[in-house]
């Protein structure tokens, strides 16, 4: 058994993709699936603010793609929203403050549906939560997970739409969030009767540290699987390492 460290890349089928939006843009993406079994679910990841370095390789989503297919049989779709660049390349278009990015999310969800992936959840982080709150009530989406929601572009009216729709919403808020700590966030999300509000002691907005990465990935796996999950911290099998971390 080998410990799963910050730069551990576990086996998966990884496919570079190009997503096509309804307004004519091509977006850079990657779909990671379990290597040899059918996935029990799929997450579509919407990254933090691209004008401040957010991209599909932002560390939580990169680690989700490296671990969840092998540890939880969950497929992971990552993509660069319009105007965003990562090591995989640049998506066409320009940053649109959470409006046009709704078409980007729509294209990503359409792609995983076309691939026949089941039990689709959307996962937003920081800016990505605004995109998910505003635009995530899409056909085929089972529910959503929000990480460090700042409620910068999304409004309480958007949350009321989630309440009326009834799809599950998991809201993870770091104790020391720079923008909206739990005491400020909880009254807003109380408007969503089905929301599960999860304050995380000791965590910060960027979820730095393997302890907090594990907490996030356990919650993601639990939501998708529909039961509590504690992912292994060791792996008995082939593993590669990412040297850039």
pLDDT in tens, 6-35: 999 999 999 999 999 999 999 999 999 999
Percent of the chain with pLDDT over 90: 98
- Quick one: pLDDT at residue 2? 93
Q: Per-residue pLDDT averaged across 113-137, rounded? A: 98
Q: Per-residue pLDDT averaged across 218-223, rounded? A: 98
- Quick one: pLDDT at residue 112? 98
Domain-by-domain residue ranges, the chain?
A: 21-226
pLDDT in tens, 29-43: 999 999 999 999 999
- Quick one: pLDDT at residue 245? 40
Which of 73, 4, 64 lies closest to 30 in space, CA to CA?
64
Total-model pTM: 0.97
- Quick one: pLDDT at residue 242? 81
Q: Per-residue pLDDT averaged across 197-219, rounded? A: 98
The mean pLDDT value of the chain amounts to 97
**DSSP conformation letters of the chain:** -EE--TTEE---EEEEEEEE-TTS-EEEEEEEE-SSS--SEEEEEE-S-GGGT--TTSHHHHHHHHHHHHHH-EEEEEEPPTT-EETTEE-SS---TTSTHHHHHHHHHHHHHHTT--SEEEEEETHHHHHHHHH---TTEEEEEEES---SS--HHHHHHHHHH---EEEEEEEE-SS--HHHHHHHHTTSTTEEEEEEEEEETT--SHHHHHHHHHHHHHHHHTS-----SEE-S--EE-TT-
Does residue 216 surpass a pLDDT of 50? yes
Are 243 and 7 within 8 A, CB to CB?
Answer: yes
Does residue 45 surpass a pLDDT of 60? yes
Q: Per-residue pLDDT averaged across 87-92, rounded? A: 98
Does residue 168 surpass a pLDDT of 50? yes
pLDDT in tens, 174-194: 999 999 999 999 999 999 999
Fold of 21-226: Rossmann fold (3.40.50)
Does residue 243 surpass a pLDDT of 70? no
pLDDT in tens, 63-80: 999 999 999 999 999 999
């Amino acid at each position: 058994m080998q410990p799963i460290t910050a730069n551990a890349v576990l086996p998966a089928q990884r496919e570079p993709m190009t997503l096509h939006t309804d307004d004519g843009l091509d977006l850079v993406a990657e779909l990671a699936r379990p290597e040899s079994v059918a996935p029990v679910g799929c997450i579509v990841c919407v990254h933090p603010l691209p004008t401040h370095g957010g991209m599909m390789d932002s560390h939580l989503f990169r680690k989700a793609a490296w671990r969840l297919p092998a540890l939880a049989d969950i497929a992971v779709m990552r993509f660069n929203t319009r105007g965003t660049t990562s090591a995989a390349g640049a998506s066409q278009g320009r940053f649109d403050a959470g409006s046009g990015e709704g078409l980007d999310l729509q294209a990503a969800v359409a792609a995983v549906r076309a691939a026949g992936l089941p039990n689709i959840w959307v996962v937003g982080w920081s800016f990505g939560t605004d995109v998910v709150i505003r635009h995530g009530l899409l056909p085929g989406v089972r529910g959503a997970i929000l990480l460090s929601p700042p409620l910068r572009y999304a409004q309480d009216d958007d949350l009321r739409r989630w309440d009326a729709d009834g799809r599950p919403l998991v809201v993870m808020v770091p104790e020391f969030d720079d923008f909206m700590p739990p005491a400020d966030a909880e009254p807003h999300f109380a408007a969503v009767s089905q929301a599960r509000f999860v304050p995380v002691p000791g965590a910060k907005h960027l979820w730095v540290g393997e302890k907090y990465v594990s907490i996030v990935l356990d919650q993601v796996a639990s939501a998708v699987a529909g039961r509590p999950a504690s992912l292994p911290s060791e792996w008995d099998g082939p593993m590669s390492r990412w040297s850039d971390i």
